[in-house]
Structure 1
Amino acid sequence: MPVSWISRFETQKSPMAPYHIRQYQDSDHKSVLGVFIRGMKSTSHHLLPRTILLLLGVPLAVVLVSGSWLLAAMSILFVLLLLKLLARQPWKEYVAKCLHTDMADITKSYLNACGSFWVAESAGKVVGIVGCLPVKDPPLGRKQLQLFHLSVSPQHRGQGIAKVLVRIVLQFARGQGYSDVVLGTTVLQKGAMALYLSMGFRRTGQYFFGMFWKLVDNPTIHLTYSLPSA
């Protein structure tokens, strides 16, 4: 990694604690997985209001059809359990998939694949992560880099770490001659969405990973940052 540009971001101060950004090392693997899994867990407790309202209509339907408040109460318990499952299961499946694919060997998946992976370190602990890889089939005339797995430990959020990690990816892309940085995030990840939009990313589409995601109305939003140098 060219030291000439990474050094600008290497050490950052915050009111809470100092931190610095560096490239991933194999010894970071366990810590990186911890940050990644905790980040996904913090998202998995949420559902969109539309999904919640749809499911809470079940008890009302039970009362109207059967006239039994006992059955309605039982259906409420069922709905609560279903909400818990709907909120967690897709994220658990996503994490499991990542742990068996790109996150299983980060050096091989990122550093040896024309991409990169960085960690934010505070007090000797990894507290933030981000990776990037070239897009295999970009639009004609474009050279695109995709951002992956931006995550910061809950206790270290609000210190600007995520923004610095995104800036490093943008600077890396600019230095490697990419025309765009792209990524996918969901509408449930409100903090991440707000961060990307504030930094100049724009929405360029949306899609669903599968029928389940469509059922719970949780699309993946495609964002693009066009580099000024391009």
Structure 2
Amino acid sequence: MEEKHIQGKKVIQFNGVVREFKPEDRVHVQRIFSEGMMEMIYDTSIRGFRYHPESLLLYSAMTIAGFVLTKCWWMIVLLPVLVLCGRYLCSRWVILAYLTEAMRTDMSHMEEVYINSPNSCLWVAVLKDQVVGVVAAVHEGKNSARLKRMSVDRRFRRCGVGKALGWKVLEYAVAQGFSTVVLGTTAYSAAAHKLYQGLGFQCVAVENGHMAPSEPTFPLIGIFYRVYLNHYILEVQNIPVDLCKRQE
């Protein structure tokens, strides 16, 4: 990493390389992706709690009802604790199901899905011979690319790795003649949204209560697991390829 000061602000610039995935990167990519997904358990269950007032109202009503029915003051303490445990366990179950499916499909067949397929690619960020991040792009729709599988080793975050990976996807989209790049994220971390917005993406829709196709279903999922799916889009027709290269 390299620190620069631009207009009085400290900017950390990634001075590694972003290159196409190689078979020997497989273990490192799977580790970074898995660790990133596991962090989503806390993100969706605890950090995301305050973004869902409908859930807060429901849990408050459950607590009040429990107190009215039992006349026990300890219910006021016990139910919120049980609610938080329920949210964490449901998030863990959902995230693990999603991770298992991803590892069974594309993350175990990266060459077939991303490298050997037309209009798709997978890149890794490498710093001092160490893989520190991953991102993929796939053709979607008539003339659009989807940015997916973005994950950065937590030890190397806030070092410009994510931005370098993002610009690689934009460079690829421009070179392939795509008109837009889209992505979806359920992250509540402000850093994730700041990264995408810094690359030029705009949030065009927010879906509340999103459920991925691979997520397990049971009666309490709707109560203890609710997330926002943020849809981002970036028009890339007017981005010169050399501009993307200069941003790496």
Q: TM-score with structure 2 length normalisation?
A: 0.76
Could you give the per-residue CA deviations for residues 99-141 of structure 1, whole angstroms, max 9, x where no partner exists?
A: 1111111111101112111111223321100011101x33xxx
Cα separation, 2, equivalents of 1:18 and 1:119? 14
Superposition deviation, residue 39 in structure 1: 0.9
Aligned partner of 1:95 in structure 2 is 99
Aligned partner of 1:188 in structure 2 is 188
Unpaired runs of 5+ in structure 1?
A: 1-11
Query: Judging changes above 3 Å, is the alpha-carbon distance between structure 1 residues 123 and 60 closer, same or farther for their aligned structure 2 residues?
Result: farther
Aligned partner of 2:31 in structure 1 is 34
Letter in 1 for 2:23: D
Aligned partner of 1:130 in structure 2 is 135
Could you give the per-residue CA deviations for residues 170-224 of structure 1, whole angstroms, max 9, x where no partner exists?
A: 0011011111111111252432222112221112334423584797431312111
| SS at 2:108 equivalent | coil
Query: Judging changes above 3 Å, is the alpha-carbon distance between structure 1 residues 219 and 213 closer, same or farther for their aligned structure 2 residues?
Result: farther
Query: Judging changes above 3 Å, is the alpha-carbon distance between structure 1 residues 214 and 61 closer, same or farther for their aligned structure 2 residues?
Result: closer
Cα separation, 1, equivalents of 2:113 and 2:203? 27
Superposition deviation, residue 92 in structure 1: 1.5
Cα separation, 2, equivalents of 1:62 and 1:122? 54
Aligned partner of 2:230 in structure 1 is 221
Aligned length: 214
Aligned partner of 1:20 in structure 2 is 17
Cα separation, 1, equivalents of 2:87 and 2:129? 38
**Larger deviation: 215-224 or 147-156?**
215-224
What's the % identity of the aligned pairs?
Answer: 24
Aligned partner of 1:148 in structure 2 is 148
2:120 paired with 1:111: no
Cα separation, 2, equivalents of 1:196 and 1:146? 13
State which of 79, 82, 85 in structure 1 corresponds to 2:83.
Answer: 79
**Larger deviation: 203-212 or 159-168?**
203-212
Output the aligned Cα RMSD: 2.6
Query: Judging changes above 3 Å, is the alpha-carbon distance between structure 1 residues 80 and 105 closer, same or farther for their aligned structure 2 residues?
Result: same
State which of 40, 45, 68 in structure 2 corresponds to 1:64.
Answer: 68
Cα separation, 2, equivalents of 1:96 and 1:76? 30
Query: Judging changes above 3 Å, is the alpha-carbon distance between structure 1 residues 215 and 44 closer, same or farther for their aligned structure 2 residues?
Result: closer
After the TM superposition, which segments of 4 or more aligned residues of structure 1 sit over 6 Å from their partners?
none
Q: Which has the higher contact order (CA 8 A, sep 6+)?
A: 2
Letter in 1 for 2:203: R
Do the aligned residues in 2 keep the contact of 1:113 with 1:133 (CA within 8 Å)? no
Aligned partner of 2:172 in structure 1 is 172
Letter in 2 for 1:202: Q
Unpaired runs of 5+ in structure 2?
A: 4-11, 240-248
Cα separation, 2, equivalents of 1:112 and 1:214? 42
Cα separation, 2, equivalents of 1:173 and 1:122? 24
Superposition deviation, residue 162 in structure 1: 0.2
Q: TM-score with structure 1 length normalisation?
A: 0.82
